[in-house]
């Protein structure tokens, strides 16, 4: 562009000089005027080039998306969007240009990118600043680059050529409601998501776009957004009264939607060309199928659109995290052409379409799951086990901005929220296989097991199949860990960042790229008895290295995994598995050597004995043996402010306000055998310490036997001492002390459990 402008300036300057020679002016004066003329032209091209460019630092600092800015940007619009005035709101950069005017959708038609004049990113001074900026981590992607890309941009038509030949009768397809929940989303990504849907969806098919605001706090997502979407066709904002999280926010949108099909998508996506027609056609043909677009990417560092290079399917690990996986041989042979739907055991959560009536018939979402995490795996199990199917369509493509980390906060600890969701999935849908999920967790939190009953009833009512059926028929490629495995899964070599793969025909280990998770040819295990397993066979040391043996024997129990150094070590000497130049052998262990370090997908612990995980919902009901039953509260304060005994994740006791923690953490009962129980666990006393132990079948140990006196004291028979509240403020705890009938901190009452 600059070269062309310079050539034009030189040509005009030459013509200017020639013209003045014809007028017989002095050469010096002619040259002076020519210089002024050339400078003027050059400044004009600079003005044209940089008009509308913005100060990228202003984007970072300026969060005041003022109402006046929006009204000014949309002053020429009345009801339909004037694409000519889709300004990058909050900055000085515009996408103004000579356009066809307002959006005027005809039946079955939509605007194309050709109707939108979007300035190219031409490498100017501002664009040099649009690099990956770690300081913009509050959205976990490069917001400056996103703002530079604007509210709408062309995207490459990445569909296979045969997809472009397909024709659809849009007059005979169902309508779609697009549901986009958001929480403190960056304005440019949110608006680009919306505009990509509006521009690339036939008007006759788009029922509405529902933006569900999940308690955003940024100014530009409040009243200014309301004003903005008033000028967009078929777009409205739904604002629940409190933070719902992704799961319940989607439900809010689904309940408000009026389209025949629901399409859920994240607030940082862009749809591709003719994306909706194949999806609606397939749902029309097969009502009980859930359609997943072929997911493409948006790079978080520079916002580049990344087309899919191939077709992958979805699966899950035993931690219930979604994984990409290459197509199985069975799926490849089942499909009769490259455009046929792809069956996938698990669905990605960021974008999918489903028949609205079927969505509610099949149980919508588990409303007891919080915020985000596990909902896509729960949905996957439920759809397949209860008679539906999940398919990926190669001709339906949506790009998603996969963020390197969660950019928003959870109410409470995010890890606990996600694990609580996962436990709900395991308990309702995984039957006896839930033990594999629990084995992947180093620490488990308690959940309210009684709250699972509604979802378990749904499963019974829908006559859903077993999880064993699901594994054998839908996800046979999911490897089941050996029951004695301590390390299991994909095995990564730290030195090369590659994965250890299926042994060769000669039995030698090999390495390959790690970009796909959970592939069966990369699943290894190290067991508690020292076997290094692949499938039914074992990796064994030899004189020249290591080799795969198809049958494991007792003499192969020679390995151990050292977590501190990440070494796979021989038990009887100081030799470690080493991989250099793609060969494997055992060499002297060296903590500094990267070529001796490995990581497995999961650390498993089948023997962990987490107290709370084993407390069933039954303990919320008063047992027949109970003399006293309820929340154990100290009577020092008035009832509404009392402190209760609670049980932490590791089984130790703590003191919490009775009103705050879930009731099931505090339900205790004193039985006829004098045991003080929480679920299947007994409170025990040793010296001045309190802890929980699994109750023996017969209580004959005075360290487990309590008396509840008429002074409301809990007295341990073994030591003749009483349970007492100690500490102040948030530092309260319970310990033993010499019994004192006048001490209020030793007085305990069993309060009635609400709603039991």
pLDDT in tens, 64-119: 222 233 233 333 322 223 333 232 222 222 232 222 223 333 333 343 333 333 33
* Burial degree of 380 (CB within 10 A; 0-12, 13-18, 19+): buried
Q: Which residue has the tokens 């399409």?
A: 263
How many CA atoms lie less than 13 Å away from 534 in the CB half-sphere? 24
Averaged pLDDT, 184-194: 91
Quick check: do 485-603 and 612-751 share a fold? yes
- The CA distance from 755 to 604, in Å, is 37
Q: Which residue has the tokens 């003499």?
A: 555
Q: Which residue has the tokens 């605001």?
A: 213
- In this predicted structure, what is the pLDDT of residue 147? 83
**Structure-token pair, residue 594:** 């990267």
**Which stretches within 232-301 are classed as H helix?**
245-256, 276-285
CB atoms within 10 A of CB 350: 21
Q: Model confidence over 600-615: pLDDT tens digits?
A: 888 888 765 443 344 4
**Structure-token pair, residue 236:** 């409205």
**Structure-token pair, residue 203:** 């008007």
First to last CA, the chain: 75
* Burial degree of 217 (CB within 10 A; 0-12, 13-18, 19+): exposed
- The CA distance from 478 to 577, in Å, is 27
**Structure-token pair, residue 644:** 């209760």
Specify the pairing of strand 485-493 against strand 498-501. Answer: antiparallel
414-429 and 453-461 helices cross at what angle (nearest 10)?
40
Report the topology of domain 485-603: Trefoil (Acidic Fibroblast Growth Factor, subunit A) (2.80.10)
Whether pLDDT at 452 is above 60: yes
CB atoms within 10 A of CB 123: 10
- In this predicted structure, what is the pLDDT of residue 129? 34
When comparing pLDDT for 701 and 201, which is higher?
A: 201
What is each CA distance from 519 to 18, 631, 693, in whole angstroms?
74, 48, 41
- In this predicted structure, what is the pLDDT of residue 88? 27
Percentage of the chain surpassing pLDDT 90? 28
CA 494 from centre of chain: 26
Question: What's the count of helices (H) and strands (E) in the chain, helices before strands?
Answer: 18, 36
Interacting residues of 498 by C-beta distance below 8 A, sequence separation 6+: 492, 511, 512, 513, 514
The dotted CATH code for 612-751 is 2.80.10.50
Whether pLDDT at 133 is above 60: no
Q: Model confidence over 488-531: pLDDT tens digits?
A: 988 899 888 888 888 888 888 888 887 655 566 788 999 988 89
**Of 236-245, 332-341, 378-387, 645-654, which gets the smallest average pLDDT?**
645-654
- The CA distance from 585 to 574, in Å, is 13
Phi-psi region of 88 (alpha: psi -120 to 50; beta: other; left: phi over 0): beta
Q: Model confidence over 648-667: pLDDT tens digits?
A: 645 667 788 887 655 555 67
- The CA distance from 143 to 145, in Å, is 5
290 and 383 Cβ atoms separated by less than 8 Å: yes
713 and 743 Cβ atoms separated by less than 8 Å: no
**Of 59-73, 102-116, 548-562, 685-699, which gets the smallest average pLDDT?**
59-73
Most confident among 301-315, 604-618, 637-651 (mean pLDDT)? 301-315
- In this predicted structure, what is the pLDDT of residue 549? 86
| Domain edges within the chain | 2-50, 68-79+94-400, 485-603, 612-751
- The CA distance from 421 to 427, in Å, is 10
- In this predicted structure, what is the pLDDT of residue 81? 30
- In this predicted structure, what is the pLDDT of residue 526? 92
* Burial degree of 113 (CB within 10 A; 0-12, 13-18, 19+): middle
Averaged pLDDT, 712-722: 85
| Gyration radius from the chain CA atoms | 33
* Burial degree of 672 (CB within 10 A; 0-12, 13-18, 19+): exposed
- In this predicted structure, what is the pLDDT of residue 178? 98
- Confidence band for 264, pLDDT divided at 50, 70 and 90: very high
Backbone angles phi, psi at 282, to 5 degrees: -70, -40
Q: Which residues of 194-216 are buried (b: 16+ CB within 10 A; e: fewer)?
A: bbbbbbbbbbbbbbbbbbbbbeb
Whether pLDDT at 678 is above 70: yes
User: In DSSP terms, which residues pair with 526 in a beta bridge?
Assistant: 487, 532
Tell me the average pLDDT of the chain: 77
Q: Model confidence over 137-153: pLDDT tens digits?
A: 467 777 888 888 888 89
Q: Check if CATH label 3.90.550.10 holds for domain 68-79+94-400.
A: yes
Percentage of the chain surpassing pLDDT 70? 73
**Structure-token pair, residue 98:** 């000579």
177 and 197 Cβ atoms separated by less than 8 Å: no
- In this predicted structure, what is the pLDDT of residue 130? 37
- In this predicted structure, what is the pLDDT of residue 27? 61
H/E element holding 296? strand 289-298
- In this predicted structure, what is the pLDDT of residue 597? 93
Averaged pLDDT, 415-420: 79
Whether pLDDT at 408 is above 60: no
Rounded-to-10 torsion of CA 100, 103, 105, 106: -40
H/E element holding 126? helix 125-129
CB atoms within 10 A of CB 285: 9
CB atoms within 10 A of CB 564: 6
């Amino acid at each position: 562009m600059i070269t062309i402008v310079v050539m034009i300036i030189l040509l005009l300057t030459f013509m200017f000089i020639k013209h003045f020679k014809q007028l017989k002016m002095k050469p010096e004066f002619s040259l002076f005027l020519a210089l002024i003329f050339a400078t003027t032209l050059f400044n004009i091209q600079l003005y044209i080039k940089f008009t509308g460019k913005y100060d990228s630092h202003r984007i970072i600092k300026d969060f005041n998306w003022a109402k006046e800015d929006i009204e000014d940007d949309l002053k020429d619009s009345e009801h339909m969007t004037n694409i000519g005035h889709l300004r990058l709101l909050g900055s000085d950069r515009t996408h103004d240009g000579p356009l066809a005017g307002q959006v005027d959708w005809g039946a079955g038609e939509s605007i194309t990118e050709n109707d939108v004049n979007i300035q190219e990113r031409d490498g100017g001074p501002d664009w040099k600043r649009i690099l990956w900026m770690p300081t913009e981590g509050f959205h976990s992607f490069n917001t400056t680059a996103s703002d530079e890309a604007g509210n709408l941009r062309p995207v490459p038509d990445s569909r296979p050529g045969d997809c472009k030949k397909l024709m659809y009768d849009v007059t005979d397809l169902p309508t779609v409601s697009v549901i986009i929940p958001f929480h403190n989303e960056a304005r440019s990504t949110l608006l680009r998501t919306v505009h990509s849907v509006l521009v690339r969806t036939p008007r006759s098919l788009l029922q509405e776009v529902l933006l569900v605001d999940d308690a955003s706090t940024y100014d530009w997502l409040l009243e200014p957004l309301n004003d903005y979407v008033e000028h967009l066709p078929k777009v409205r904002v739904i604002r629940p009264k409190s933070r719902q999280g992704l799961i319940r926010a989607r439900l809010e949108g689904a309940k408000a939607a009026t389209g025949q099909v629901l399409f859920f998508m994240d607030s940082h996506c862009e749809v591709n060309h003719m994306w909706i027609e194949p999806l609606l056609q397939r749902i029309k043909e097969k009502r009980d199928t859930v359609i997943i677009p072929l997911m493409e990417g948006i790079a978080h560092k520079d916002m580049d659109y990344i087309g899919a290079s191939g077709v992958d399917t979805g699966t899950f690990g035993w931690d219930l995290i979604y994984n990409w996986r290459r197509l199985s041989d069975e799926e490849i042979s089942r499909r009769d052409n490259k455009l046929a739907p792809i069956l996938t055991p698990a669905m990605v959560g960021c974008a999918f379409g489903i028949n609205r009536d079927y969505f509610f018939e099949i149980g919508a979402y588990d409303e007891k799951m919080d915020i985000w995490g596990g909902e896509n795996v729960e949905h996957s199990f439920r759809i397949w086990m209860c008679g539906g199917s999940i398919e990926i369509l190669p001709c339906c493509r949506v790009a998603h901005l996969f963020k390197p980390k969660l950019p928003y906060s959870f109410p409470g600890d995010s890890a606990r929220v996600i694990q609580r969701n996962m436990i709900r999935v395991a308990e309702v849908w995984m039957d006896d296989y839930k033990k594999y999920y629990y084995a992947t967790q180093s620490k488990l939190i308690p959940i309210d097991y009684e709250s699972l009953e509604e979802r378990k009833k749904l499963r019974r009512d829908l006559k859903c199949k077993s999880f064993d059926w699901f594994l054998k028929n839908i996800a046979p490629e999911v490897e089941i860990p050996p029951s004695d495995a301590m390390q299991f899964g994909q095995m990564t070599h730290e030195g090369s960042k590659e994965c250890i793969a299926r042994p060769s025909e000669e039995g030698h280990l090999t390495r390959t790229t790690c970009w796909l998770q959970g592939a069966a040819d990369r699943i290894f295990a190290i067991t508690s008895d020292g076997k290094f397993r692949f499938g039914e066979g074992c990796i064994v040391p030899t004189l020249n290295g290591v080799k795969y043996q198809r049958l494991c024997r007792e003499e192969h129990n020679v390995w151990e995994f050292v977590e501190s150094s990440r070494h796979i070590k021989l038990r009887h000497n100081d030799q470690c598995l080493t991989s250099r130049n793609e060969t494997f052998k055992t060499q002297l262990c060296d903590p500094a050597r990267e070529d001796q370090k490995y990581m497995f997908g999961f650390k498993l612990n089948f023997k962990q004995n987490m107290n709370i995980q084993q407390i069933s919902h039954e303990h919320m009901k008063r047992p027949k043996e109970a003399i006293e039953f309820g929340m154990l509260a100290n009577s020092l304060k008035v009832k509404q402010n009392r402190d209760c005994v609670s049980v932490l994740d590791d089984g130790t006791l703590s003191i919490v306000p009775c009103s705050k923690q879930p009731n099931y953490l505090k339900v205790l009962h004193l039985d006829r055998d004098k045991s003080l129980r929480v679920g299947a666990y007994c409170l025990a006393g040793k010296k001045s310490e309190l802890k929980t132990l699994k109750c023996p079948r017969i209580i004959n140990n005075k360290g487990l036997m309590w008396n509840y006196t008429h002074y409301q004291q809990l007295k341990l028979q073994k030591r003749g001492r009483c349970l007492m509240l100690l500490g102040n403020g948030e530092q309260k705890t319970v310990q033993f002390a010499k019994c004192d009938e006048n001490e209020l901190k030793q007085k305990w009452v069993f309060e009635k459990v609400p709603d039991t």
